[in-house]
Structure 1
């Protein structure tokens, strides 16, 4: 299968690219022109110079592919511009694939559910109070799912916190804690969150591509649920010395972090039973706590 992939130079996208190539797929991967020279050359991989502000390019690449996987996002712009560029991308793909029956796999994020509370949320439940800062993602999820009416096999994958391979949010938490000598949790640190190992997530993308019946929204999470205070304490203990765990009032966090503080402050517990049941997918992989204590992040600890 020839796959057009966005985000392949980023954390999650690079792992998905690795899995696609290992499975024998041919991949055309979008990357900014200035990065092409630093990216690896591999068999069955063609780097496409461009960005999300070029919908004609995205349209042409999508039309030439057997499937499109959209993981990338313009994280170096503000929220409104991120929404605009993402909208240009998914509409270019929709126009390119209309009437083809080909797969479009879009990437969302579990925080759009808003505060889930301690009980796992699944894809069938209405989202009554999505986070305001990520409301556009919910609109784009619905726009993606609606592409079925245009003859596109459209799928949305919603991961929570992605970790593993010494990357993602845990890497940033460790680096900030070591630089500042402190790690802060919003409020009392009782916020609960699901997670997914990046390799397990990559396998879900491949499962969706492989099964022609896959359609609609799929959550992607393991059964592990962690409290933010427990993660902070593990980082302080294993990546010190001298890292202090501190409480951070939401108002101060929001002033410093904006939308990201809203995401970090709410419970985000989701169920991936639909993907397990319909696709035979299993989120097998090291736990977040295991990765922090004895896994890939341990190379960042002093005297490791």
Structure 2
């Protein structure tokens, strides 16, 4: 028997897989192709070729497992229906076993806030409004040790959402307020005043494993490392790495929507700060990865 993991070749899932295997755990990874199966098999996991829409396969793999960690998502308009069906299948496979099921949510559902916690009321942007009902089903399931992990902005190894800052358009300064006329600056997402609550992908992987092992049934944890820089600070770090001497310029909301699409843009304009203390207290989680500011300035996103 082993842990059944979805999304094992994605950004977060591959980190979880790596950490589980480093701990000597047995993992069965759901992958979508023979090529990806070869990748996870080469790492030491058992691969099952299939799709997160294959509910009979999901139910059977859940039943045969020691528990399930679910991090896969299509990330589009099909996400709600697919996640709902997946939860139904996994809970059916685990029903009455008291085995762990760790489900992935996201901190965006909480909306704006300067001190967000697991008890904060939900006020989601449109892109994540579908999550709430499914998450309540997960947390209310009986006979299964369910946990909800709500990651912040995940970063590390030059991947993920921070690339929307690194790859932002450059604009020419036309006044002396931010630099000499004719100098280039990095265009911010929005005004830059909003905070992003962040977590290094390796720290997040450790949280999933701790939740799988230790969390009580029906528990929720913010997956945030406690560092919530402003987008302006992040932009300045990326601008420095790009040789622009930290110069940045704000965008309007409409400019952000035009560049990134309105649903995604609305989420990145949220102003969120969170400490993530509950996971430290309850599970002994100790996030210690490099900060996103350092990663942008001189780390995996620089150069």
Between Structure 1 and Structure 2, the one with more helix by share is 1
2:214 aligned with 1:208, yes or no?
no
Cα shift readout 1:266-291 (whole Å, capped 9, x = no counterpart): 11212311111111111111111111
The CA distance in 2 between the partners of 1:10 and 1:38, in whole Å, is 15
Match of 2:103 among 87, 102, 106: 106
The CA distance in 1 between the partners of 2:246 and 2:116, in whole Å, is 34
Give the equivalent residue in structure 1 for 2:26: 26
The CA distance in 2 between the partners of 1:16 and 1:239, in whole Å, is 31
**Gap runs ≥5 in structure 2:** 171-183
Give the deviation of 1:250 after TM superposition: 1.1
Match of 2:161 among 162, 165, 169: 169
**Gap runs ≥5 in structure 1:** none
* Structure-to-structure mapping, 1:171-250, within 5 angstroms: 171-177=163-169, 183-211=186-214, 213=216, 215-240=218-243, 245-250=248-253
Task: Kindly indicate whether the alpha-carbon contact (under 8 Å) linking 2:237 and 2:246 is maintained by their aligned counterparts in 1.
Answer: no
Give the equivalent residue in structure 2 for 1:296: 300
Cα shift readout 1:35-59 (whole Å, capped 9, x = no counterpart): 4366243364111111122111111
Task: Kindly indicate whether the alpha-carbon contact (under 8 Å) linking 1:158 and 1:219 is maintained by their aligned counterparts in 2.
Answer: yes
Match of 1:130 among 84, 102, 124: 124
Give the equivalent residue in structure 2 for 1:115: 112
Match of 1:281 among 282, 285, 290: 285
Size of the alignment, in residue pairs?
Answer: 291
Task: Kindly indicate whether the alpha-carbon contact (under 8 Å) linking 1:208 and 1:214 is maintained by their aligned counterparts in 2.
Answer: no
Give the deviation of 1:177 after TM superposition: 4.8
Quick check: which has more Rg, 1 or 2?
A: 2
Give the deviation of 1:28 after TM superposition: 0.8
Task: Kindly indicate whether the alpha-carbon contact (under 8 Å) linking 1:162 and 1:168 is maintained by their aligned counterparts in 2.
Answer: yes
Give the equivalent residue in structure 2 for 1:264: 268
Task: Kindly indicate whether the alpha-carbon contact (under 8 Å) linking 1:110 and 1:270 is maintained by their aligned counterparts in 2.
Answer: no
Give the deviation of 1:14 after TM superposition: 0.5
Task: Kindly indicate whether the alpha-carbon contact (under 8 Å) linking 2:4 and 2:28 is maintained by their aligned counterparts in 1.
Answer: yes
The CA distance in 2 between the partners of 1:242 and 1:48, in whole Å, is 48
Cα shift readout 1:153-180 (whole Å, capped 9, x = no counterpart): 00000111111122112234324558xx
Cα shift readout 1:136-191 (whole Å, capped 9, x = no counterpart): 112222121011xx21100000111111122112234324558xx86432432100
Match of 1:155 among 134, 140, 147: 147
The CA distance in 1 between the partners of 2:189 and 2:156, in whole Å, is 23
Question: What TM-score does the superposition give when structure 2 sets the normalisation length?
Answer: 0.88
What secondary structure does 1:193 align onto? coil
Cα shift readout 1:169-219 (whole Å, capped 9, x = no counterpart): 2234324558xx864324321001211111111111111122163641101
Q: CA RMSD in A?
A: 2.4
What secondary structure does 2:5 align onto? strand
Give the equivalent residue in structure 1 for 2:138: 144
What secondary structure does 1:154 align onto? strand
Cα shift readout 1:30-89 (whole Å, capped 9, x = no counterpart): 1112643662433641111111221111111111100100011113xx32x111111111
What secondary structure does 1:120 align onto? strand
